[in-house]
Structure 1
Amino acid sequence: MQTSLSLQHLIRKPAVISKETPLLIMLHGYGSDENDLFSFAEELPGELLILSVRATYPMQPYGNAWYAIHWDNTNGKFSDDKQAIESRDRIANFIDEAVEEYGVDRNNVNLLGFSQGSILSYAVALSYPEKVRNIIALSGYINQEILKPGYENKDFSNLDFYCSHGSQDQVIPVEWARKNKPFLEKLGIKNQYSEFPVGHGVAPQNFFEFKSWLEKRI
């Protein structure tokens, strides 16, 4: 576990790190931790420097969250958008720290997020498009309430999204995820959307599809 930067993280280094090394930052979901997505690391391209980050809010008895979810809200789930915005900006700051600390290519920063981590990947990329390039957004949706005001006037020409969702997802309704593609296309952002016949998780064919997608872009 690396603790020298503002967010704790696990790291997988390539054989050689240079100014051309692409960076991949992993953002886990609600109630999980940095070990979750890191299980993908060994199967991903060897040239990547991979950092799997722990979310900022510890939960009991274990796990972490990027922001609180109030399950007893009358409308079902209710996100603490204030905490989500704080986490959005922490992640954006962490990107700068990581590029500086590890000496990698600041023009080739990639995000991989699941669930809450996916929601924040959308928020970081749409609020700070100059900081990232490729985004793998698994089982998440775009929460417009946590996007930076004026985001729609940003330059999104560098961005490319791979979005996927389980058609049987019982945590985040697939109907929410189906809004992502038209939202991104309205902003002129390159994207791909796939659905898989699973619940709130990543099917093997989902993994191989986003792996292939990423290999072509880094």
Structure 2
Amino acid sequence: MPSLHHIIRESSLKENAPLLIMLHGYGSDENDLYSFSQELPEELFVISLRAPYTMQPFGYAWYSINFEAEKGKWSDNDQAIQSRDLIANFIDEAVVNYPVNKHNITLLGFSQGTILSYAVALTYPEKVKNIIALSGYVNKDIISGDYRKRDYSHLDFYCSHGSVDQVIPVEWARQTPSFLHQLNIKHCYAEFPVGHGVAPQNFYEFKNWLKKRI
């Protein structure tokens, strides 16, 4: 499969750097989450991906969304699965092409990027270590069928959501901790009094969480 378009911030380390891959939300692009990178630890090698589907008049998406539909019919799951596998493939490419540690890879997603981060981690747990899941939820329909049999003991999740999110209801995100607990996955979950976005205190919390794990 072709590589995804991306931008990078190089690490202060010349080899074996911890890798952070950013996955933006619906209608955004690779520059959105990349703005966080200047505040993140300098030893991180940062890659911010652009989703494969072009939107009009601007922006990109990992898959189509029908905002009028019920939760179960909300997403184009076929497109989402294709994007899940594109991201998994890109991780393999990044390990080959950049001076990073394949055993220390973090996915940072926002909204649709979070939904894909969950799907990648739970379908391909051997490819990642940490997940920062902002303003998203778990879509079980885009995780491979045998996920309950997998070993997730090395994974660690930081999950957060806005308590007044007007795009993805906070109730969807509140189902995540019990789901991860059932899979014996280490995780923490936090809510902040904001809408569909990342509050400053949310950023500093996940930044400190990540610092302790790289």
User: Same fold by TM-score, threshold 0.5 exceeded?
Assistant: yes
Q: Secondary structure at the match of 2:74?
A: strand
- What pairs with 1:144-163 in structure 2 (closer than 5 Å)? 144-163=140-159
Residue aligning to 1:181: 177
Residue aligning to 2:124: 128
Q: Secondary structure at the match of 1:33?
A: coil
Superposition deviation, residue 72 in structure 1: 3.9
Post-superposition CA distance 1:76-118 (Å, at most 9, x none): 7710000000000000000000011003110001000000000
Report the TM-score when normalising by structure 2.
0.97
Residue aligning to 1:89: 85
Return the match for 1:10 from 7, 12, 26.
Answer: 7
Residue aligning to 2:38: 42
- What pairs with 1:137-216 in structure 2 (closer than 5 Å)? 137-216=133-212
Superposition deviation, residue 137 in structure 1: 0.2
Q: How many aligned positions are there?
A: 212
Post-superposition CA distance 1:109-156 (Å, at most 9, x none): 100000000000000000000000000000000000000110111110
CA contact (8 A) 2:27 2:55 kept: yes
Superposition deviation, residue 178 in structure 1: 0.4
Where does the alignment leave 5 or more consecutive residues of structure 1 unmatched?
none
Q: Secondary structure at the match of 2:103?
A: coil
- Provide the aligned C-alpha RMSD in A: 1.1
Superposition deviation, residue 16 in structure 1: 2.8
Letter in 1 for 2:172: W
Where does the alignment leave 5 or more consecutive residues of structure 2 unmatched?
none
Runs of 4 or more above 3 Å deviation? none
Quick one: distance in 1 between partners of 2:60 and 2:44? 25
Q: Secondary structure at the match of 1:46?
A: coil
Superposition deviation, residue 181 in structure 1: 0.4
* 1:55 matched to 2:81: no
Q: Secondary structure at the match of 1:70?
A: coil
Letter in 2 for 1:207: F
Quick one: distance in 2 between partners of 1:72 and 1:156? 34
Q: Secondary structure at the match of 1:137?
A: strand
Quick one: distance in 1 between partners of 2:208 and 2:74? 35
Residue aligning to 2:65: 69
Q: What percentage of aligned pairs have identical amino acids?
A: 66
Letter in 1 for 2:85: D
Report the TM-score when normalising by structure 1.
0.95
Quick one: distance in 2 between partners of 1:179 and 1:72? 21
Q: Secondary structure at the match of 1:107?
A: strand
Q: Secondary structure at the match of 2:21?
A: strand
